[in-house]
Every structure is written in C-alpha cells, then in structure tokens.
C-alpha cells in the first residue's frame, strides 16, 4: 500500500492562502492576513472557514480511501510523531490492530487480525485527510479538529492527550481576567479557535511555534496556547488567565463512513482502561456497607464455602481505586484483588 502523498507541502492553507478574515497581524507582515489580494474563501464565501476548503473535492483519484471501491479495507490515519503518536499506536495494539509485521516502522502498514491499513501522518493533517476521504477515520486532537475547521464526526474520545487551550500573560502583566484583554494583542498558533472563543475582540498575532516567548519578545501582550501541567507557562514566567477549550485525543470519521466495528473495538479498549475489576471477600452482614462504598447496588455476590461469608465482584472506575481500598477494609472486606480489564462493552 502506498501512503497518501503530502497534499499541501506549503503548510496549513496549502496554496499560501490567508486563513482568516479578521484583524490578524503577522509579525512583520505588510498586509493584515485576510485582507491581501488573491485572498481565498471557501464555498460558503466565508474567509474564516477557508482552512480546509481549498482541497475539498480535488483529490487525486489514487488518494481516495478504498471504502466503497473494489478493495474493502479500512484506512485509519494515526499521528506519525509528537505526543499523540505512542499512545495512539498502543491503543491500536490493544484493540487488536497491531502491525502484521511486529516492530513495523513503515509509514503505512497493514494490521494483523483485521482488514485495516494504518497510515502514519501529521496529527494536524488528519482532520483534513478524513474529511476529504483520503482515509476513513483517524486519531488526532480535538483542538486540531476544531482549528482546522473540518467537517468530520467525532466518534470517540480516547482518554489521553488531555490538554487545555489557555490564555496566559506575563507574571507582571496588569491583566487579571481574560475579559481585560479587549483590544490587546494575543499570539497563538490557534487563530481560528482564539477568534472563535475569546469573549472579547483581540488583535491576533499569528506565529508558528514557541508561542510562550512571544510576550518577552514584545510581539504580544498575551498568548493562547496548549497547556497540560502548566509547567511550561511557569518556566516562561507566564500565568494563566483561564481556559478557552479543553481537548483530548479523539477518533474521527468521515461523515457517514461505515466504521461501526472499528469504533466498537476501540470503545471496548477505552472503557476497559478506565475501569478495574474488583474482587473481595467479606462477611455477608457487611454487604450493604460494601455496596455503598463501591457505589454499586448490584455487584456479583457469590457464597463462599465458609458459612456467612461472600465474595463480591464489581467493576469500578480506575480513578476511584486509590480511595476505595482503605474504605473497603474499614467495612470488613479482605482478600481484595484489583485486576485490569482488557475489553469492556456495556
């Protein structure tokens, strides 16, 4: 199988088209973005939606997904590098979609056990590849789906790649709330989301990387950027004024794509990872208290050989285990086992 050719080597807009219609200022740019000659708009005539449009419906025939064609194999795009790569590849493995050849390092490979081909591409390109039918589905960040302005279906949040799109200013800045930034300059690599979600009008400074140092370089009063722990902000002498958007990795599909089985396989893994199987023994007369601690009204209860004793089995949220164990001991549970769940379908 041949991986899809990169369709826009020049970057987000492909043809160098301005990507927004607002008051965006690029450092050093003579013309505000969206105001230059030859500015493109997509077919709804809205320049602010021109990110994904230029390629729509103009794919080389060979780039189209095979679904609906002669070969009935499913194509899924997965991030080739960055934070989402490893957890995405491991999710595929856990869902039984590991490469046919173990240790496969090619950018496109068939999966063992299922008629699925995996394509490793840039996370930021995946929403567009899915929208345009280059692949049937893909894994990327919700932030990238929204920023690219693509029409795709978000089928399943995947439980990793969690981050926030925060507004931040230098520690010593006079700004205390996001609303105080009305009219201020804001540097970001997320111009669309920033324009969409800022509650007050701001002047956008569109940069492509190292957003955190923009205020120190005098490029902007504030930044809008992805944050997970907040350490990078602190290291760069910035403080958060609040969150515009929260994001995690997501499985996306082309509108109407027939990928129900893949979604089910992945959901079974995502749900399983979020739970643990709890087994314990307890005196039967403590059952009510144990159920109250577990938060389940109908766990499996099995009589033990010893009279008056029972075993209790239940699924519990993985994040609750830490506080469950001491409380279960307090109400008389013993021989407690917590085991991982491999697949789970409710």
Between 101 and 246, name the residue whose CB sits nearer to ligand AMP.
Answer: 246
Residue 138: closest CA among 59, 192, 185, 84: 84
Provide the minimum distance between the beta carbon of 228 and ligand AMP in the complex, in angstroms, as a whole number: 4
**Measured from the CB atom, is 67 or 192 closer to ligand AMP?**
192
CB of residue 336 vs ligand AMP: minimum separation in angstroms? 34
Instruction: Using the minimum distance from each CB to ligand AMP, give the nearer residue, 266 or 280.
Output: 266
Compare residues 84 and 280 and give the one whose CB is closer to ligand AMP. 84
Work out the end-to-end distance of the chain between its first and last CA atoms, rounded to an integer number of angstroms: 36
Residue 112's CB: how many other CB atoms inside 10 A? 14
Which residues does 141 contact at the CB level (< 8 Å), separation at least 6?
A: 84, 123, 161, 163, 247, 248, 249, 250
Q: How far is the CB of 227 from ligand AMP (least distance, A)?
A: 6
For the bound state, the minimum distance from the C-beta of residue 161 to ligand AMP, rounded and expressed in Å, comes to: 4
Other C-beta atoms within 10 Å of 13: how many? 19
For 203-317, strand residue ranges (E) read 203-206, 222-227, 238-247, 249-253, 275-283, 300-303, 309-317
Question: Is the Cβ of residue 32 or residue 232 nearer to ligand AMP in the bound state?
Answer: 232
Which is nearest to 248 in space by CA: 132, 137, 154? 154
Interface residues with ligand AMP (CB under 6 A) are 82-84, 123, 141, 143-144, 161, 163, 226-228, 247
Q: Kindly report the CA angle at 181 between 191 and 245, in degrees rounded to 5?
A: 45
Distance of closest approach, residue 164 Cβ to ligand AMP, in angstroms: 8
Query: CA 224, CA 213: separation in Å to the nearest integer?
Result: 12
Q: Which is nearer to ligand AMP, 47 or 139 (CB)?
A: 139
Interaxial angle between packed helices 287-294 and 321-330, expressed in degrees from 0 to 180 and rounded to the nearest 10: 170
Shortest reach from residue 11's CB to ligand AMP, in Å: 15
Nearer Cβ to ligand AMP (144/168) = 144
C-beta of 314: minimal distance to ligand AMP in Å?
32
Alpha-carbon distance of 177 to 92, in angstroms, equals: 41
């Amino acid at each position: 199988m041949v991986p899809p050719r990169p369709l826009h080597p020049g970057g987000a807009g492909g043809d160098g088209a301005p990507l927004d219609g607002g008051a965006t200022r690029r450092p050093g740019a003579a013309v505000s973005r969206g105001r230059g000659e030859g500015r493109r708009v997509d077919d709804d005539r809205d320049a602010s939606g021109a990110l994904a449009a230029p390629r729509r419906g103009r794919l080389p025939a060979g780039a189209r997904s095979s679904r609906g064609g002669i070969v009935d194999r499913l194509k899924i795009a997965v991030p080739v590098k960055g934070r989402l790569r490893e957890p995405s590849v491991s999710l595929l493995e856990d869902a039984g979609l590991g490469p046919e050849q173990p240790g496969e390092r090619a950018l496109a490979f068939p999966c063992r056990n299922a008629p699925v081909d995996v394509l490793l591409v840039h996370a930021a390109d995946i929403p567009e590849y899915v929208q345009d039918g280059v692949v049937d589905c893909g894994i990327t960040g919700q932030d990238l789906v929204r920023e690219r302005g693509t029409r795709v279906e978000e089928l399943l949040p995947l439980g990793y790649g969690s981050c926030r799109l925060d507004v931040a200013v230098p520690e010593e800045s006079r700004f205390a709330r996001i609303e105080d930034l009305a009219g201020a300059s804001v540097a970001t690599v997320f111009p669309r989301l920033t324009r969409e979600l800022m509650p007050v009008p701001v002047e956008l400074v569109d940069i492509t990387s190292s957003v955190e140092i923009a205020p120190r370089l005098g490029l902007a009063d504030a930044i809008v950027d992805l944050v997970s722990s907040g350490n990078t902000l602190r290291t760069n002498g910035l403080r958060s004024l609040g969150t515009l958007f929260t994001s995690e990795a997501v499985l996306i599909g082309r509108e109407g794509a027939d990928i129900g089985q893949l979604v089910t396989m992945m959901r079974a893994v995502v749900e399983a990872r979020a739970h643990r199987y709890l087994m314990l023994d307890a005196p039967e007369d403590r059952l009510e208290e144990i159920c109250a601690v577990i938060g389940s009204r109908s766990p499996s209860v099995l009589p033990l050989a010893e009279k008056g004793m029972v075993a209790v089995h239940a699924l519990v949220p993985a994040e609750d285990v830490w506080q469950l164990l001491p409380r279960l001991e307090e109400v008389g549970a013993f021989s407690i086992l917590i085991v991982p769940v491999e697949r789970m379908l409710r």
